Amino acid sequence: MNLGHNNLSMTPKMANLFEQKYPNITQWVEEFGWIEIGEAEYSESLIRAFNEGGLVWENIDDYASLDEAFQSLENSLKEWIKENE
């Protein structure tokens, strides 16, 4: 699985676990765009999703964990994919 422009590689077991827990994030990076995680000069968000048109989603809330932030992204991308496929 390729998680964006940096070609982050995972072991098959790690990729399988990620795909099971976050199927919409997986579909996003395989078919629609990429995600950025971490600080950025241009944004205060922790996680951002982009496609060729630019920013599609960024978190606006504070999360107790990275998993909680990923779940928010997962839910938002599910809606985006449903509306745009």
| Residues 5-56 pLDDT 10s | 445 566 777 778 999 999 999 999 999 999 999 877 777 888 999 999 999 9
What distance in Å separates the CA atoms of residue 8 and residue 31, rounded to the nearest whole number? 16
Ramachandran assignment for 7, one of left (phi > 0), alpha (psi -120 to 50 degrees), beta (any other): left
Confidence of residue 2 (pLDDT cuts 50, 70, 90): very low
In the predicted model, what is the mean pLDDT of residues 58-82? 93
Cβ atoms of 26 and 33 closer than 8 Å: no
Output the pTM of the full model. 0.80
The most distant pair of C-alpha atoms in the chain lies apart, rounded to whole Å, by: 34
